[in-house]
Structure 1
């Protein structure tokens, strides 16, 4: 048998591992992280510089049993199916974990493969959820638009009879009606496969508009707090879609706190290094450094519902329809971003990650 001359060009092995879609870390005999690839940065929501040189147990919190086996020199390999780990501080996810030896110096390769539901959240993929949400929005569009026109007309008539204090609320009603009508038009367009129009926007005007609407509903016992990054750059997004995302998340948080007198809803923005996704559109990995989060100190989502949280018609509310979070996921996806749910101690957090706008309004 003669060896065939390969026509495959040589390639950079380091670049290959760096771009591999599976989260991969190289650790030494003592458990110190020597290397992480981009997928590991995304999974841990932490930049490479913050992980390399640290103990693996400071980067990834493991069950005591896995930790002891990893620290045992006699353990050459470790395989675990659906193991719960904590990354990025206290964020808990479920992964298939594999550790194998590398070289002769005691180094080991640790691969972390998110479960299907976790992978869906990390990549922002909504599949059937997005399609069903779009179909539902298209079917409801006609029925919603007609009463909206009546509401706006009534608000405009009322504005002629109220004082300056009341005019603030009639103006808000008209603005909300216009925004919802525009959103319905956009959702009808999305259901036909068209893209969501995005441009460079300041994230704070849609936040303030959504919060003004939420406060006007006067949720009893709920206190709003804010933790904003004042140096946040412009976002590549859509104003009305951002308002809708915020309203859905804030409303859900407030309703989760019903009956309590110590409820807190926290809205925060931050710039996060190291998070990126590949949307499969040929552009490669896109950085998602802009984080908008809505948190509440309510009871949280039942464990058995967390895997399907962004699917349509899944709801914990007695009178809910289960379309709100499916729509949030779709709008985030259509702006090139993701949405994630985590239970962090006593807090339920929804994090929306979006691309920053470039100089000409592009990533």
Structure 2
């Protein structure tokens, strides 16, 4: 019997790894670099001879938690999305980082794949120009809002002595000034790079403030329902940001329900055990047990924009600006949380998930 021979060629594994386009390093159980391929040399802009024999985080600057885990022989696997590392002693980039065990000696393979955002592909130029544009937008907003305040004040003075027809136009002027000011305020939120100040807060005062504001508009035909968990712990958040988030979500819900006979908006809170997220910043998974949801029984979001719903300037409204939900997402993110959209039967739900304040008991801190 003739044994068939394979036509598959034998590969030189060292050569294969060396030519692999993903930056790859072999490190021992103490984090010492044993091998690097050409892609790793190119990414780090450091020669192989200058990297081999050194501890990996002396070559590649990274968050303290990553250093600890790579120095721990018990940690054989690691994955981080958009982790920030420093290469060449000064250049900061974001990478998807993956470490897996190799062999029986505690060695590990570390792969670094640059995150493929446009800003990073352009070497950070977009990020720098974006920050410059943000600063210019803030300055421009300040210069616009000052004369707007004067215009509104003048219109209010004219209204005191105006007849009914004149009062109609001064009211229109004031309304348009308020509309433009609101638009500028929303745009300013996107131009501010610094995070908002967060402290332990009781979630219910901002909820009640937002609902009082909405009810004061006397929206006809809309009923509001509440389903609150009174025993939630304190939230790591910002009162004003929470008011803004809820105002935007509830206002959107009311607008899509206009004209419906059974229009209903529900506001609910809940404690979700086990809910967490890994933001890829080296802190591991962060618990987000606090949930605030706003639901409506309207027609829902069109399927073609659901994936871009929280991007600026995406809107279904004829005269909408597409900033409301983008602002909601930004504020939730600034507080360390997330916001999600889902269609649940006949209901459209927006769920904001937030971290509990440090030191708060699991339940029972809010009234």
2: CA distance between counterparts of 1:146 and 1:339?
36
Alpha-carbon shift at residue 194 of structure 1 (Å): 1.3
Q: Secondary structure at the match of 2:251?
A: helix
Pair 1:276–1:204, CA change in 2 (3 A): same
2: CA distance between counterparts of 1:152 and 1:244?
26
The equivalent residue for 1:207 is: 207
Greater mean deviation of Cα atoms: 269-278 or 203-212 = 269-278
The equivalent residue for 1:8 is: 29
Alpha-carbon shift at residue 228 of structure 1 (Å): 0.3
1: CA distance between counterparts of 2:242 and 2:137?
17
**What TM-score results when the alignment is normalised by the length of structure 1?**
0.53
User: Does the Cα contact within 8 Å between 2:189 and 2:327 map onto a contact in 1?
Assistant: no
User: Does the Cα contact within 8 Å between 1:190 and 1:196 map onto a contact in 2?
Assistant: no
The equivalent residue for 1:328 is: 328
1: CA distance between counterparts of 2:329 and 2:136?
14
Q: Secondary structure at the match of 1:295?
A: strand
For residues 71-122 of structure 1, give each alpha carbon's deviation from its aligned partner in whole angstroms, at most 9, with x where no partner exists.
xxxxxxxxxxxxxxxxxxxxxxxxxxxxxxxxxxxxxxxxxxxxxxxxxxxx
| Alignment partner of 1:272 is 2:272 | yes
Q: Secondary structure at the match of 1:252?
A: helix
The equivalent residue for 1:28 is: none
Select the structure with the greater relative contact order (CA < 8 A; seq sep ≥ 6).
1
1: CA distance between counterparts of 2:79 and 2:27?
23
| Alignment partner of 1:225 is 2:225 | yes
2: CA distance between counterparts of 1:6 and 1:273?
37
2: CA distance between counterparts of 1:135 and 1:306?
31
For residues 183-225 of structure 1, give each alpha carbon's deviation from its aligned partner in whole angstroms, at most 9, with x where no partner exists.
95x9858734212100000000000000000011122211000
Greater mean deviation of Cα atoms: 279-288 or 310-319 = 279-288
Gaps of 5+ in 1: 23-126, 156-176
2: CA distance between counterparts of 1:136 and 1:316?
29
Alpha-carbon shift at residue 282 of structure 1 (Å): 3.1
User: Does the Cα contact within 8 Å between 1:341 and 1:350 map onto a contact in 2?
Assistant: yes
User: Does the Cα contact within 8 Å between 2:276 and 2:285 map onto a contact in 1?
Assistant: yes
User: Does the Cα contact within 8 Å between 2:294 and 2:350 map onto a contact in 1?
Assistant: yes
Pairing of 1:1-363 with structure 2 (within 5 A): 7-8=28-29, 10-11=73-74, 16=77, 138=138, 140=141, 142-144=143-145, 147=148, 184=185, 188=188, 191-359=191-359
Alpha-carbon shift at residue 275 of structure 1 (Å): 1.5
1: CA distance between counterparts of 2:136 and 2:319?
17
Gaps of 5+ in 2: 1-11, 15-25, 31-72, 82-126, 157-177, 362-367
User: Does the Cα contact within 8 Å between 1:220 and 1:261 map onto a contact in 2?
Assistant: no
Alpha-carbon shift at residue 136 of structure 1 (Å): 10
Q: Secondary structure at the match of 1:247?
A: helix
1: CA distance between counterparts of 2:142 and 2:259?
33
The equivalent residue for 1:38 is: none
User: Does the Cα contact within 8 Å between 2:80 and 2:280 map onto a contact in 1?
Assistant: no
2: CA distance between counterparts of 1:346 and 1:206?
27
1: CA distance between counterparts of 2:154 and 2:290?
38
For residues 261-312 of structure 1, give each alpha carbon's deviation from its aligned partner in whole angstroms, at most 9, with x where no partner exists.
2100000000001111223333222110000000000000000010110011
For residues 223-269 of structure 1, give each alpha carbon's deviation from its aligned partner in whole angstroms, at most 9, with x where no partner exists.
00000000011000000000000000000000010111210000000
The equivalent residue for 2:37 is: none
**What TM-score results when the alignment is normalised by the length of structure 2?**
0.53
Q: Secondary structure at the match of 1:353?
A: strand
Q: Hey, which bits of structure 1, 4+ residues long, moved more than 3 A?
A: 9-13, 19-22, 133-155, 186-190
Pair 1:293–1:149, CA change in 2 (3 A): farther
Q: Secondary structure at the match of 1:208?
A: helix
1: CA distance between counterparts of 2:136 and 2:273?
36
